[in-house]
Amino acid sequence: MEDKIEAFLDLVRERNGHEPEFLQAVQEVAETVIPYIAEHEIYNGKNILLRMVEPERLISFRVSWVDDSGEIQVNRGYRVQMNSAIGPYKGGLRFHPTVNASILKFLAFEQVFKNSLTTLPMGGGKGGSDFDPKGKSDNEIMRFCHAFMTELYRHIGHNTDVPAGDIGVGAREIGFMFGMYKKLNNTFTGVLTGKGQSWGGSLIRPEATGYGNVYFAENMLKTKDDSFNGKKVVISGSGNVAQFAAEKAIELGATVLTLSDSSGYIYDEDGIDTEKLQFVMDLKNNKRGRISEYVDKYPNAKYFKEERPWSVKCDIALPCATQNELNGEEAKALIDNGCICVSEGANMPSTPEAIHEFHKAKILFAPGKASNAGGVATSGLEMSQNSLRLSWTREEVDARLKDIMEDIHDSCVEYGKNDDGTIDYVRGANIAGFVKVADAMLAQGVI
Ligand SMILES: NC(=O)C1=CN([C@@H]2O[C@H](COP(=O)(O)OP(=O)(O)OC[C@H]3O[C@@H](n4cnc5c(N)ncnc54)[C@H](O)[C@@H]3O)[C@@H](O)[C@H]2O)C=CC1
Ligand SMILES: O=C(O)CCC(=O)C(=O)O
């Protein structure tokens, strides 16, 4: 089996050797899915996984715009349309200076499996730009978003490809992009999700990824007759996913100790309560400040410059910032400090070495493609509401989100149960996500 996996990975490396993040994501899937394919006659000899690692379409384009000082700026825009076997391409847009084809292909590849897990009819895609929103004025953000959409609009549509937010793309950016799409197309459709509530957005979509991650972790804890109540929780990031993961963990009786950004982390021994979290939300979403400012407001807390929070003693860790933000040594530190559960809010935040440590220690570990799927699932619910021209209540969307996260957990258990009764959520998520897409691809023939 090892030979088969290596031979497959050699082929992928040959074509994508310069794309480390993409290769990392493919390797994780290949190691669990290739043995499954070998045991299931219907998938044999069809090169299904080889087809799945090649994007159906990869669009790259110039984005020119004028900054506040009158200088012309040039950025690169992308959309990776990875797989449409089970529905229109669906996945976020990331605006961050590190964005390149490798990062977006890894995210789009993960998205295919994640969207399949949600049980909703969505294919996988991802896009974005190397544009850095940090320090830009609202007008600059608007001009960039408008310029970005003047090209992207011809490749997307409510039945073709439905982008949403990701790092650096929140309600403000979705608004600007939606406005330009509507103007260029002269149609008002649900072409983007994460819209404002008065123009087609769904209640709970802003909360959904963070809440969903906590719901998933709750399901994992339940398998051990445990819960969030009374637990110490360490969270990385302080953006959309981190904020709402913290909110839900607090609501369930946990004490949240940390939050972070790309400059460092804050540790509040007394716990980040609801009032302190409101301060962070205002700081990050409106003032667009740095997490270090938390200690100016709450001097009992400590700020650790250019460090990550994984050495803080905790029961539960929720990495909610970015890819490869938790390495093997940090995983060991978490385990040595008594951490019993790691649930990924970000996409691929744990390195392969970290995942190896979690599995070796047999602690509960959920990969992002399962545990952060609540965001895109609620985007799917936004698409349904747009098609029906209806808005469901907060309670209704939240209840559906909870059910979906429980279903994803059940699928992971179905496909990931080990002989000793423990659950390999990585294998479970990969195989459960694969089966639905592969079956659709088989039914549709070689295209
Ligand atoms: N927004 C959503 O609905 C979903 C987001 N995700 C993933 O969750 C993660 C966070 O995304 P959002 O919260 O939406 O973005 P955001 O832009 O709201 O927040 C990103 C956070 O990550 C931090 N960050 C960025 N680069 C960093 C670095 N190099 N080191 C440490 N911190 C860093 C930022 O300071 C910020 O706190 C990403 O991996 C994203 O792909 C996954 C599923 C859905
Ligand atoms: O809601 C969406 O379509 C985007 C979600 C996303 O980008 C993700 O799940 O990583």
Give yes or no for a contact between 75 and 95, defined as CB atoms under 8 angstroms apart.
no
Q: What is the pLDDT of residue 56?
A: 98
The model's pTM is: 0.97
**What distance in angstroms lies between residue 447's CA and the mean position of ligand 1's atoms?**
34
Q: Using CA positions, which residue lies closest to atom 19 of ligand 1?
A: 239
Tallying the residues shown for the chain, one arrives at: 447
Q: What is the pLDDT of residue 17?
A: 87
Residue located via tokens 């981190």: 242
Ligand 2 touching residue 436 (CB < 6 A): no
Give yes or no for a contact between 99 and 63, defined as CB atoms under 8 angstroms apart.
no
Which among 80, 209, 211, 322 is the best mutation to test ligand 2's pocket, defined by most ligand atoms within 8 Å of the CB? Answer: 209
Pocket lined around ligand 1, Cβ cut-off 6 Å: 165-168, 209, 237-242, 260-262, 320-322, 325, 345-347, 372, 375
- Alpha-carbon separation of residue 184 from 181, 187, 216 (angstroms): 5, 8, 40
**What distance in angstroms lies between residue 115's CA and the mean position of ligand 2's atoms?**
9
pLDDT cut 90: percent of the chain above it: 100
Q: 128 pairs with which residues across the strands? A: 78, 94
Closest ligand by atom to 368 CA: 1
The secondary structure of the chain in percent helix, strand, coil, rounded to multiples of 5, reads 50, 15, 30
Give yes or no for a contact between 164 and 91, defined as CB atoms under 8 angstroms apart.
yes
Q: What is the pLDDT of residue 60?
A: 98
Q: For the chain, which residues score pLDDT lower than 50?
A: none
Report the C-alpha gap between 39 and 205 in whole angstroms: 39
Closest ligand by atom to 212 CA: 1
Ligand 2 touching residue 369 (CB < 6 A): no
Report the C-alpha gap between 435 and 429 in whole angstroms: 10
Q: 163 pairs with which residues across the strands? A: 91
Q: What number is the ipTM of this complex?
A: 0.98
Which among 241, 376, 401, 408 is the best mutation to test ligand 2's pocket, defined by most ligand atoms within 8 Å of the CB? Answer: 376
Ligand 2 touching residue 386 (CB < 6 A): no
Report the C-alpha gap between 128 and 144 in whole angstroms: 12
Say which residues have a Cβ less than 8 Å from residue 255's Cβ, sequence separation at least 6: 230, 231, 232, 233, 271
Give yes or no for a contact between 116 and 123, defined as CB atoms under 8 angstroms apart.
no
Q: Which residues of 434-445 are buried (b: 16+ CB within 10 A; e: fewer)?
A: bbbbbbbbeeee
The token pair at 329 is 């040594």
Ligand 2 touching residue 110 (CB < 6 A): no
**What distance in angstroms lies between residue 320's CA and the mean position of ligand 2's atoms?**
14
Torsion angle in degrees (nearest 10) through CA of 368, 374, 380, 386: -140
Question: What's the distance, Cα to Cα, between the start and end of the chain in Å?
Answer: 28
Closest ligand by atom to 207 CA: 1
Ligand 2 touching residue 94 (CB < 6 A): no
Report the C-alpha gap between 273 and 44 in whole angstroms: 53
**126 carries an active-site annotation:** yes
- Alpha-carbon separation of residue 149 from 88, 163, 311 (angstroms): 19, 11, 42
Q: Of 90, 105, 114, 126, which residue is the catalytic one?
A: 126
Q: What is the DSSP string of 44-75?
A: TTS-HHHHHTS-SEEEEEEEEEE-TTS-EEEE
Q: 266 pairs with which residues across the strands? A: 259, 303
Report the C-alpha gap between 18 and 23 in whole angstroms: 9
Q: What is the pLDDT of residue 112?
A: 98
Give yes or no for a contact between 217 and 343, defined as CB atoms under 8 angstroms apart.
yes
- Reference 354, options 363, 86, 40, 226; nearest CA is 363
Ligand 2 touching residue 166 (CB < 6 A): yes
Give yes or no for a contact between 220 and 406, defined as CB atoms under 8 angstroms apart.
no
Q: What is the pLDDT of residue 126?
A: 98
**What distance in angstroms lies between residue 145's CA and the mean position of ligand 1's atoms?**
19
Which among 172, 240, 247, 350 is the best mutation to test ligand 1's pocket, defined by most ligand atoms within 8 Å of the CB? Answer: 240
Atom of ligand 2 nearest to the CA of 94: 7
- Reference 257, options 332, 316, 327, 333; nearest CA is 316
Q: What is the pLDDT of residue 357?
A: 98
Q: What is the pLDDT of residue 279?
A: 98
Phi then psi dihedrals of residue 94, to 5 deg? -115, 125
Atom of ligand 2 nearest to the CA of 92: 7
Strands of the sheet containing 89-95, edge to edge, are 57-66, 72-83, 124-129, 89-95, 161-164
DSSP E strands, 85-242: 89-95, 124-129, 161-164, 232-236
